[in-house]
Amino acid sequence: MTRRIPVAAPIFRGNETAYVMDCLQSTWVSSNGSYIDRFEAGFAQFSAARHAISCVNGTAALHLALLALGVCPGDEVLVPTLTFVATANAVRYCNAEPVFVDSRTDTWNIDHDRLEDAITPRTRGIIAVHLYGHPADMDAIQAVARRHGLFVIEDAAEAHGATYKGRRVGSIGDAATFSFYGNKVLTAGEGGMVTTSDDALAERVRRLKGQGLDPARRYWFPIIGYNYRMTNVAAAIGLAQLEQADWHLGRRAEVAAWYAEMLKGLGVATWQCEQPWASHIRWMFTVLINADERSRDGVMAQLLDEGIETRPAFVPLHQLPPYQSAERGGPFPVAEDIGSRGISLPTWAGLTREDVSWICDRLVHALQG
């Protein structure tokens, strides 16, 4: 029987079952309940922000943050082209335009040296994505933002618990957004969070996520809002995961260390390295196969035949049909190189050293075969 190793899988080792059963027995299963308050309070403390506002998913979190920061039709927001499509889609939800910026070779994150070239009078802000769990260089990004009066949103969907110069991501920008999809470091099955230390911004997010309801007057809606609320059941799972955050982060660090140890010196691939000023939580251990090896997609197909599920690196957004007509931007040589050669290897807390050894052996075989 062929061994099967998924690219990601959630691990439930804490109070997930007990908390979900409590929701069911109490009948508090929708968007009210004690677990929502507990998850929000716990996540605010975890991310060192004053406020954490839960919502239905990470994309909704981005949309809420952009709306609360006042993004309007015709505005522009600078976005790395190497990211998951939700980052740009949320800008479009506001009828604004994402303006793409290339990546850096060291972190694979948005290139702060190219930000000012992309700024126009219509630019309102910057979304700094902490790609694959490695923080962007927030000091450099915020220095540009301050010079031009722009907001900064941290897209930390892939970076729960990562730190930048000793600070937890989620506490650095004007706001930050997280995802709790099933493949993330911490999961709620599905869900999102907006973090901020700005009291007024937090209040706007809370009102927008709940149809615009005035908290002081039932069924009074002074603004147009959205039904972006998280369920109590999802929050119960998320809280149980949060209680085990150190274990999840530790296990991923161990898995990443095994990959680095086993692939080092073989000359078949490089990977996103951790910078001295950051802690990389390795949402995905993503490697770049050497350009003179067989094609990336062929390697992935061979690995799948041997029971190892992988993912390609993200397709740079400027190459996707909805965004190919962008008026400005480019060239994007770094993002295009990573996008064409990158492979995300299985990365999750349940992997053993034997699993990682098998994956590395099969990867090397596929590259050299």
Q: Which domains occur in the chain, in start order?
A: 16-243 (3.40.640.10), 245-368 (3.90.1150.10)
Q: What pLDDT does 183 receive?
A: 96
pLDDT of 196 above 80:
yes
Spacing of C-alpha 289 from chain mean position: 23
User: What spatial distance separates the first Cα and last Cα of the chain, rounded to whole Å?
Assistant: 23
pLDDT of 292 above 70:
no
In this prediction, residues 309-326 reach a mean pLDDT of 92
Considering the chain, what percentage of its residues have pLDDT values greater than 70? 98
- pTM comes to 0.96
DSSP assigned state of 174: S
Q: Quick check: helix, strand or coil at residue 155?
A: strand
Give which of 314, 256, 250 is closest to 282, Cα–Cα: 256
Residue pair 119/78 in contact by the 8 Å Cβ criterion: yes
Paired with 227 in beta bridges are 210
pLDDT digits (tens, 9 = 90+) for 41-65: 999 999 999 999 999 999 999 999 9
pLDDT of 294 above 90:
no
pLDDT of 366 above 80:
yes
Angle, in degrees to the nearest 10, between helices 58-68 and 199-209 = 120
CB atoms within 10 A of CB 180: 30
- The whole-chain average pLDDT of the chain stands at 95
Question: Omega of the bond prior to 312 within 30 degrees of 0, cis?
Answer: no
Q: In 124-151, which positions are buried (b, 16+ CB within 10 angstroms) versus exposed (e)?
A: bbbbbbbbbbbbbbbebbbebbeeeebb
Q: Which amino acid is at 226?
A: Y
Locate 294 and state its tokens: 């067989």
Helices (H), the chain: 16-26, 34-46, 58-68, 86-93, 115-118, 138-148, 199-209, 232-243, 245-263, 296-305, 333-341, 353-368
Paired with 270 in beta bridges are 288
- Kindly compute the dihedral angle of the four CA atoms of residues 42, 43, 49, 55, in this order, to the nearest 10 degrees: -130
pLDDT digits (tens, 9 = 90+) for 69-104: 999 999 999 999 999 999 999 999 999 999 999 999
In this prediction, residues 322-331 reach a mean pLDDT of 79
pLDDT of 291 above 70:
no
Q: C-alpha angle with apex 242: 240 to 245, nearest 5 degrees?
A: 120
Q: What pLDDT does 1 receive?
A: 58
pLDDT digits (tens, 9 = 90+) for 227-246: 999 999 999 999 999 999 99
pLDDT of 329 above 80:
no
**CA 355 to each of CA 13, 307, 348: distance values in angstroms, whole numbers, following the listed order:** 20, 11, 11
pLDDT digits (tens, 9 = 90+) for 6-37: 999 999 999 999 999 999 999 999 989 999 99
